[in-house]
Amino acid sequence: MIQPILPGATIGVLGSGQLGRMFALAARRMGYRVHTFSPDQDTPTGQIADVEVMAPYDDLDAVRKFASNVKVVTFEFENVPTETAKAAASAAPVRPSGAILHTTQQRIREKAFLRNAGLPTTPYREIRTVEDLEGAVAELGCPSILKTAAFGYDGKGQVRVESPDRALEAWSAIGRQEAVLEAFIDFEREISVVAVRADDGSFVHYGAIENQHSRHILDVSIAPARVPAAVANQAVEMSRCVLDQLGVVGVLCVEFFVTRDGRLMINELAPRPHNSGHLTVDACVTSQFEQQLRAVCGLPLGSTAMHRPATMANILGDLWQSGEPDWAAACAFPDVKLHLYGKLEPRAGRKMGHLTALNHDAEAAYQTVVRARRGLTRNDAG
């Protein structure tokens, strides 16, 4: 059992995006101080934190100094270098651990972990040479998906291989770096399970959340997911296995494909709060961000009970193409909550905020949030 870190203490966050911002809001509400570390300034997290440290992640002396001024370090995105996590751990506990970061930030290591744990994944092959690529395409067929082994998210670092004669071109498009080739799965839908594990092994989850993507970026999340109860329960049990096997202390999201015959395949792991869990801020007794705080500080985990079904819709920088979005139009829906992340520059595909709609009926929540987001650019709430 870890010694509880009580309100009034300072929590360090590696990374400074919107996940860190929402974590910092939860921490400040519970009386903690927050320091954030990243190469940027005036960041979404930094706008909420007590202290914003701007330094490169490979400045390990700066990382150690940062960690020496906090009681515990956590991270808000998985592409923090492993060496950075190690440097922080020399001065303060890092939760989840750097070893978990090492496993989940690289697809080959992550898939090997899942395979060794006996968990189902998308069929894949490791790619390091042209011969690997040719053999993998012959085995898995086309279309297939080629993904960089490291530093991929929101569709970055991946390309579809339409035919064997386009495979080399696809590999060149991602820099001929170490990669995985995945079989193409004609899935029915995608779901995720955001789950939390404490140091004593206690476990809570938010059930299965249904996800819809556009341009490989999460577009809409629906809770609870529209899947049979048996599928949702199996996804939760697989997620518990992942968290237990990794020894997670904190939040981790497991992303799944649901095949047309009802089977589950694990697509990816994210060892942090997840975009699909943003709706928990408004829809649940305890948000995923407060759970992260509770877990890394050694406090009892909170209830994940939902007040009402909810749907979350991302707000991307594309909406600014015709000028400032009409925020009043979205706020005209009384059951819709607006969250903006304080990012200074809208860009196409950049996550600038989200809307969450609550309703006693999940389908009604979905229809409401879609209408509210449409109103941002139509200048009406119809």
What one-character-per-residue DSSP string does 221-274 give? EEES-SS-HHHHHHHHHHHHHHHHHHT--EEEEEEEEEETTS-EEEEEEESS--
For the chain, the structural domain boundaries read 10-94, 123-183, 187-378
pLDDT of residue 380: 47
pLDDT of residue 322: 86
What the block records as the tokens of 154 is 């929101």
Question: Considering the domain 10-94 in this protein, what is its CATH number?
Answer: 3.40.50.20
Task: Give dist(CA 332, CA 342) in Å, integer.
Answer: 21
381 has pLDDT over 50: no
Task: Give dist(CA 146, CA 141) in Å, integer.
Answer: 12
What the block records as the tokens of 86 is 């190690």
- The dihedral sign for the CA sequence 299, 304, 307, 310: positive
> Highest mean pLDDT range out of 78-82, 171-175, 303-307?
303-307
Contact 319, 325 (CB under 8 A): yes
262 has pLDDT over 60: yes
282 has pLDDT over 70: yes
Contact 154, 109 (CB under 8 A): no
Return all residues near 274 (Cβ < 8 A) that are at least 6 apart: 192, 194, 251, 253, 288
What the block records as the tokens of 204 is 């809570």
- 214-260 pLDDT, tens per residue? 988 999 999 999 999 999 999 999 999 999 999 999 999 999 999 99
Backbone angles phi, psi at 301, to 5 degrees: -75, 150
pLDDT of residue 63: 98
State mean pLDDT over 140-154: 84
300 exposure class (CB count in 10 Å sphere: 0-12, 13-18, 19+): exposed
Band of pLDDT at residue 379, cut at 50, 70 and 90: low
- 341-358 pLDDT, tens per residue? 999 999 999 999 999 999
Which is nearest to 274 in space by CA: 301, 250, 241, 248?
250
Contact 236, 207 (CB under 8 A): yes
The highest-level CATH class for domain 123-183 is alpha beta
Q: What is the share, in percent, of the chain residues with pLDDT greater than 90?
A: 92
Which is nearest to 266 in space by CA: 304, 299, 240?
240
pLDDT of residue 77: 86
What the block records as the tokens of 22 is 């929402």
Q: In CATH, which of 1.10.238.10, 3.50.50.60, 3.30.450.20, 3.30.470.20 is domain 187-378? A: 3.30.470.20
Cut 0.75: pTM above it: yes
Q: What single-letter DSSP state applies at residue 300?
A: P
pLDDT of residue 382: 45
State mean pLDDT over 98-107: 93
What the block records as the tokens of 262 is 């009802």
Q: What single-letter DSSP state applies at residue 1?
A: -
Band of pLDDT at residue 155, cut at 50, 70 and 90: low
* Residue whose entry in the numeric block shows the structure tokens 């059930």: 207
What's the mean pLDDT when you consider all of the chain? 95
Give the residues across from 179 on adjacent strands.
127, 148
State mean pLDDT over 133-150: 93
142 exposure class (CB count in 10 Å sphere: 0-12, 13-18, 19+): middle
